Amino acid sequence: MFIIKYKKIFLSLSIILIIVSVVFTFTYGLKPGIDFKGGALLEVSYTGVRPDASLLEAGIKTLDINQSLIQPTGDSGYIIKTRDLNETEHEALVKALSLDGKYTVTEKSFTSIGPSVGSELTRKAIVSISMVILAIIIFITYAFRQVSRPVASWKYGVITIVTLLHDIIIPTGIFALLSYYSGAEVDTLFVLALLTILGLSVHDKIVVFDRIRENLRTGDKRSFAETVGISTSQTIVRSINITLTIIFVLVPLYLFGPETTKNFALILTIGLFFGIYSSLFFASPLLVFVEEWQARGKK
Amino acid sequence: MIKKIILAVIILVLGASVAFFVYKSEPKLNNNFETSAAFFKKFPFRLGLDLSGGSHLIYKADVSAVPAGEVTSSMDALRDVIERRVNLFGVSEPVVQVQHGGLISGGGEQLIVDLPGVTDVKKAVEMIGQTPVLEFKTEAPKNATQNVAVGKDGKVNIDLNSQFVSTELTGRYLQKAILEFDQNTREPKVSLQFNDAGTKLFDQITKDNIGKTVAIFLDGAPISTPVVREEIPNGQAVISGNFTPSEAKLLVGRLNSGALPVPITLLSTQTIGATLGESAVNAGVKAAIIGFLLVALFLILWYRLPGLIAVLALSLYTAILLAIFKLLPVTLTAAGIGGFIISLGMAVDANVLIFERMKEEIRKGHNIVDGIHAGFSRAWPSVRDSNTSSIITSIILFWLGTPLIKGFALTFGLGVLVSMFSAITISRIFLYALGIEKSNAFTKFLFGSGFKNLN
């Protein structure tokens, strides 16, 4: 199996990808959305021609709202982002947007989130990601308990987690790069996308590991590296096909789906791609690498 | 063999009736929805606020004054009061939930209020925050200072507030309020029943004020100023204040809903217009249909006959899952629809695993029948383990998540469960029912995949 033969190349490639993604994440940075830092988001549409953004900005300046960000949306609408607003401020803002009645404004959606709700969400996001990862280690250790030789079953769990980190760090880096240009923000759906990537990617790793488990049990006197190689090549078509079917549903979701889930579908597609890549080209080589490293230690 | 075919037909008929149910119970699909049986009308899809339009409010409850052991019960009482107030407003299917603070979820005690169809947040916030203040006041001593204002028309107005002094008796001591109609005048009136402590207070007040006025103030304004004729020991009072029937009804509702047991402050609001929600639904449905067709096309082109069966299983999967969404019911949000769409891609995972395995076994020298059997039994451990991990993930997400994540976790988790049934049981029944026994060039073509035939 060429993947095992050239495992050092594939392992280095993955490590480079991870480093590049981490660099992207830190240089471009992730902008927290109002879900996390609190704030208000108002989407309005105008009947007929929408007024110039500078007019609106001047109108909003007269209110006591400090900073606001005005983005055009669609043909006749704007999205306005500000600090969190109470009801009176909200009404004043809508009134200001109509330029005191000169334009007809329809409010399509309004969200105002207090900063404490945001910090609570951050905490929830961190806790849920950690809980999912922990549960996966425990489950894999349990599911593979019968295969403790030559690699202990908990190591399968740890390797899965290392590859899962690979699978979420890379999309995060790409997202940081994209958001630098598109202004996309990290919201609940972004966290949800990462969590779904975790779920789907572990699903995939289990299928490969399951085959290794089976081949180890029935296998003759093949070396561990050979067994892993055979198992990976036996599951490669399935892995590619299942990723394809999920991408077949994600692409329409991105192209035609609701506006709110567009970024979600995009990150998931990227994550799935790297998830399948890591199942084949990162997890298996890593497993063999660990086994060989162990064997060397014993001698 | 015949048994297998009968079983397959039964599954098909059942699946078709589930699909028929989903179709009939959906107003948008069924043109004759209005004339349909009441049974179907009971189960439309339940759409979340982001799809149906409405308001989502999060309140923080200040429980600092409540003893630690009573936080849960006072939060439940708070929820009940808010629920009653919201119901008064005539919102269809409002959801009022308590979210307890804790180590894992963080934050303090919160109350989440979902008002479908309400886009006027200001009105909603007012309605929820409104506490009717009911007070009973007695005549002020004659020598007390009175505020007198001379109106523009020269009339002298005596401020009623200064004519009365507060008593201890307030709406807190109210047990219940009832709407009644006067037997003679047919005018609506509100009759009040005090609780034990209130009854004692009222007894004392009426005893001390025989022949004097006892004013009933609502929200700071006198609504009724009856003169006490005798002592009232049974704790019953009547307000007859020129109400219209609907005013009286509203007052009764507000009095019965009572005061808030703990103070609340609004933390965040979200309003979604109905049009935005509708376009999101349409977009979601479009994406789901296109996704489904792409997956079906891929399965048939790549896996041929088994692929066709997988598509049949996927159709049944869709029908069953949608029916579950209706029956439970699951509140669908944009994220939930996203979870459903992803599950369409995931649902065929078990099929793909099994078919790949089948092909491998046939290639190893098994005939087709044995190959099918071996494919199903050998693929089972990996189907089981991989799906178990997905279910674990969705349970954790559901347990910890915000409403948005919960919606996703629920549709996704249900999808994984149903897909294990559809992709394994249903496709096995259909494959066996085909009764393919001979291995010849044609059957080998049917069971081949991708660009290669089996040989």
| Spatial distance between the Cα atoms of B304 and B309, rounded to a whole number of angstroms | 9
CA distance B145 to chain A (A): 38
Q: CB–CB of B121/B271 below 8 Å?
A: yes
Domains and CATH numbers, chain A: 2-34+116-298 (1.20.1640.10), 39-113 (3.30.70.3400)
Residues of A in Cβ contact (< 8 Å) with B381? 210, 213-214
Packing angle between helix A87-97 and helix B121-129, nearest 10 degrees? 160
Comparing CA positions, the residue from A76, A88, A77 lying closest to residue A112 is A88
| Spatial distance between the Cα atoms of A203 and A278, rounded to a whole number of angstroms | 12
Q: What is the pLDDT of residue B439?
A: 65
Q: CB–CB of B254/B88 below 8 Å?
A: yes
Residues of B in Cβ contact (< 8 Å) with A113? 267-268, 270
* Beta carbon pairs, A and B, within 8 Å: 234
CA distance A195 to chain B (A): 8
B129 vs A: CB within 8 A: no
Yes or no: is domain B54-131+263-271 CATH 2.30.40.10?
no
Whether the ipTM is more than 0.90: the answer is: no
Query: What tens digit of pLDDT does each residue of A35-65 get?
Result: 888 888 888 888 878 888 888 888 888 887 7
Query: What tens digit of pLDDT does each residue of A16-43 get?
Result: 999 999 999 999 888 888 888 888 888 8
Query: What tens digit of pLDDT does each residue of A69-94 get?
Result: 888 877 788 888 888 888 888 888 88
Superfamily of domain B2-45+273-447: Multidrug efflux transporter AcrB transmembrane domain (1.20.1640.10)
With a cut of 70, which residues of chain B have pLDDT below it?
Answer: 30-31, 33-37, 89, 92, 102-107, 130-133, 142-162, 219-220, 241, 257-259, 436-440, 448-455
CA distance B154 to chain A (A): 38
Alpha helices, DSSP H, located in B229-273: 245-257
- State chain A's mean pLDDT as an integer: 85
| Spatial distance between the Cα atoms of B377 and B353, rounded to a whole number of angstroms | 11
Query: What tens digit of pLDDT does each residue of B250-260 get?
Result: 777 777 766 67
Judged against a pLDDT cut of 90, whether residue A172 lies above it is answered with yes
**In chain B, positions 273-302, which contact chain A (CB-CB < 8 Å)?**
273, 275-276, 279-281, 283-284, 286-288, 290-292, 294-295, 298-299, 302
How is chain B split into domains, by residue range? 2-45+273-447, 54-131+263-271, 134-257
| Spatial distance between the Cα atoms of B193 and B174, rounded to a whole number of angstroms | 6
Q: Which helix (H) or strand (E) holds B339?
A: helix B334-347
Q: Which residue in A41, A43, A89, A253 has the most chain B C-beta atoms within 10 A of its own C-beta, making it the best mutation to test that interface? A: A253
pLDDT-derived band at A251, boundaries 50, 70, 90: very high
> CATH number for the B134-257 domain, one of 3.40.50.10420, 3.30.160.100, 3.30.70.3280, 3.30.1360.200?
3.30.1360.200
Residue B286 to residue A242, Cβ atoms within 8 A: no
Query: Which two tokens mark B299?
Result: 């399965």
Query: Which two tokens mark A238?
Result: 């399935």
In this structure, the number of other CB atoms found within 10 A of the CB of residue B436 comes to 18
CA distance A299 to chain B (A): 35
Task: Give the DSSP per-residue string, B54-68.
Answer: EEEEEEEE--TTS-G
